[in-house]
Homo-oligomer: A and B are copies of this chain.
Amino acid sequence: MALKNHQPLDPAYLEKLQDYYAEHKVIPSYSVLATLWGISAKSWVSECVRRFEEAGFLDWTPDRQLKPGARFFERRLAHDTVQAGLPNPALADGYDLVTIDDYLIRVPSKTSLVRVKGESMIDAGIHDGDLIVVEQQPNANVGEIVVAIVDNEFTVKYLDREKGTFVLKPANKAFPVIRPRGRLEIFGVMAGLVRSTR
């Protein structure tokens, strides 16, 4: 058979696995891996899995089920200095950071997302349509950006204090300071920000 040696080694395999995982959130069985990689021998799949395991991209659960390894989610945090001559700077040495979720979310059960409406916090780099990562908690410190509930609506503002009472200050001179009539109801404090631009 005139099959060419078309597989450029391991990286292509890993990418296909990562894309599969991105779609299904699961590591497939060896036979599915075989078709995914264009291989028709489970023995060779076994060998490749062993190598990925050695490299830290795959791992096993205590019950000996295949699972993503520590480096599997590794998304290159590209370094600011690029070594000359490298065709792809992002593939240079050194990696960091796992998933973005882990980067932003410390307590999943207390974290939710709030979509920003309006330009009142634009000077803090918070734009209309951005998602605020909120850690829910009933109180906050002055100076923190909080998500408060005012008139049954979420509001993102700086928390400040004026003459003994809390006020909400926007980061935009065109907007007024909010001085709640009754008790200020705090939903949580901002822990991060997410913006999609595509």
Q: Which residues of A contact B (CB under 8 A)?
A: 15, 18-19, 22, 24-29, 32, 61, 63, 65-68, 72, 75-78, 80-84, 88-90, 97, 99-109, 111-115, 117, 122, 125-127, 130-131, 133-136, 145, 149, 152-154, 187, 189-198
Which single residue of chain B is at the shortest CB-CB distance from A35? B63
Q: Which residues of B contact A89 (CB under 8 A)?
A: 149, 154, 187
Contact at B80–A196, with CB atoms within 8 Å? Answer: no
Q: Which of B83, B100, B125, B189 contacts A126 (CB 8 A)?
A: B125
Tell me, rounded to whole Å, the shortest Cβ–Cβ distance linking A72 to chain B: 8
Contact at A90–B187, with CB atoms within 8 Å? Answer: yes
Most chain B beta-carbon neighbours within 10 Å: one of A27, A66, A89, A154? A89
Most chain B beta-carbon neighbours within 10 Å: one of A100, A117, A190? A100
A40 to B66, CA, bound (A): 23
A147 to B197, CA, bound (A): 14
